[in-house]
Amino acid sequence: MEKDLRKTFELSLKDLKDKMIEMFNRVEQVYKSMFIALEKMDVKLAQDLIDHDKEINEMEDSINETSFLVILKQCPVARDLRMILTAIKIANDLERMADYATNCAMYILKTNQVHKAYNDEILKYKEYLLDMLVTIKKAYDENDVSIAFDVCDKDDRVDSLYRKQLDDFVEVAKTMTDEKAEEASRALLVIKQLERAGDHMTNIAEHIIYLKGGKLVELN
């Protein structure tokens, strides 16, 4: 009887992890599509991203529901409980990241023409963030702390890029004509969303480190 209960519990944990990997994959695809939309200023693709944002919310709801049911039915302790609580926290970070991508898609809809200089600057985040997404998913899937720390190092590149662009964009917004100031301000809102996405991946790295060793660390 006890073995059967443990087997059922392990299947529940596997189902939870499978849902987490699915959510990682979905968010990764959202960011790939978002950057494609930015490259091409593709209004249709941007609108599709906005229309399907609720799917990410539903994935988070499903993970939370699965987690709460496992806790109620199985009363897990120690590492098993950490795994469940970590999944809830990571799902929330992934959902927030999807929201940022949606906000970037809205930027495309509100921009009447391609402002090449700003698009080139925004697209500098593409390689960094997609690399971080692949890395953080691997860290979670393999429960690898060293890979999680690597994500934090990668986020330093995002922060450095953001700080430089922040100064440049603010200077334009302060000194240029109304139209150019508006363009710079709009682009500034976009790079802030992308910088925050990097921060959330650092949060996920912290959760993975907690899952492995039960210690809370502050990496941001």
**Concatenated DSSP letters of 35-100:** HHHHHHT-HHHHHHHHHTHHHHHHHHHHHHHHHHHHHHHH---HHHHHHHHHHHHHHHHHHHHHHH
Domain that holds residue 145: 2-213
The phi-psi region of residue 218 (left if phi > 0; otherwise alpha if psi is between -120 and 50; otherwise beta) is beta
pLDDT at res. 219: 66
Residues of the chain with pLDDT under 70: 1-6, 112-116, 176, 214-217, 219-220
Q: Is residue 137 part of a domain?
A: yes
206: in domain = yes
Q: What is the pLDDT of residue 134?
A: 97
**Residue 38 located in a structural domain:** yes
pLDDT of residue 115: 62
State how many domains the chain has.
1
Could you identify the residue written with the tokens 């609108």? 47
pLDDT, residue 139, reads 96
Instruction: Tell me the CATH number at 184.
Output: 1.20.58.220
179 CB-contact burial (10 Å; exposed 0-12 / middle 13-18 / buried 19+): exposed
Distance CA 167, CA 169 (A): 6
Q: What is the pLDDT of residue 7?
A: 78
What residues contact residue 187 under an 8 Å CB cut-off, 6+ apart?
Answer: 107, 115, 118, 121, 122, 169
Q: Is 219 among the domain residues?
A: no
Per-residue confidence (pLDDT) for residue 169, from 0 to 100: 83
In a domain, 218, yes or no: no
pLDDT digits over 99-123, tens only?
999 999 999 888 766 566 788 899 9
Tell whether 202 is covered by a domain: yes
- Whether 220 is in a domain gets the answer no
* Token code pair at residue 61: 């709801």
pLDDT at 114: 58
User: What confidence score (pLDDT) does residue 10 get?
Assistant: 83
Q: Name which of 94, 190, 100, 101 is nearest 136 in CA terms.
A: 94
Q: What is the pLDDT of residues 35-57, one digit of tens each?
A: 999 999 899 999 999 999 999 99
User: pLDDT at position 66, please?
Assistant: 93
